[in-house]
Amino acid sequence: MHVVEGDQEKDFFDQNPELRYFPEIQRLIQKHGPKKAGFYMWATFMFEDPRSKIYKVPIDEKTDIIMKNYLANKVDSPNLSEIKEVRDFYPRLILTKSQILYKGYADRMDELNVYNRSLNFDTHGDKIISNLEKMTKMWPTYEKICEKMQEEDLANTEARGGVKESYREKRAAR
């Protein structure tokens, strides 16, 4: 597992140099050059990584935000098909198991929600109710996955600036 880190306004590969060795990313770099490929990698992070603030936005709105407010300012004629291979690869090699599970549940619930919003209740009320029932059944598992992901995040948090853990903190970490 590799963790993408950094600031989206700075060079992606300067902040995440080891990722340039994956074949999927190498192909993106060869096709677009490292600077443009870096912008596409940040867009992939925004689409695919639960740590991104934009990730939690419904997919239709997320696409608009990333395309119009990020990529359009960074890349001439941005095209999402350019990052399909990297977006498919990203969860498998970058995310933790709990993040992958979270992403799977969150994406399915988002798809159902977007689909429900596209339906007219007068003509498709039964389908909307059926989808809401499916989401209700998914919710307890989704909450457990969220808790597990939060536990992982807390376990991976390090003290910075020379601060040392107290005796209680060390004991609680065991």
Question: Alpha carbon of 66 to those of 38, 103, 134: distances in Å?
Answer: 14, 18, 29
Report pLDDT for 42.
95
How is residue 152 written in tokens? 């992982």
Q: Is the domain of 32 the same as that of 106?
A: no
Domain hosting 123: range is 96-155+164-174
Q: Is the domain of 75 the same as that of 131?
A: no
> Which CATH number fits the domain that encloses residue 105?
1.10.287
Q: Is the domain of 60 the same as that of 79?
A: yes
Centre a 10 Å sphere on the Cβ of residue 47 and count the other Cβ atoms it contains.
19
How many whole angstroms from its chain centre is CA 14? 20
What does pLDDT average to in each consecutive run of 10 residues of the chain (174 residues)? 80 93 94 94 93 88 92 87 90 87 89 91 94 91 88 66 61 62
In angstroms and rounded to an integer, the radius of gyration of the C-alpha atoms of the chain is 19
Burial of 77 (C-beta count, 10 Å sphere; 0-12/13-18/19+): exposed
How many domains, in total, are found in the chain? 2
Report pLDDT for 156.
65
Is residue 70 within 8 A of residue 43, CB to CB? The reply is yes
Report pLDDT for 152.
80
Q: Is the domain of 33 the same as that of 49?
A: yes
Report pLDDT for 163.
58
Report pLDDT for 155.
73
Cα 24 from Cα 38, distance rounded (Å): 13
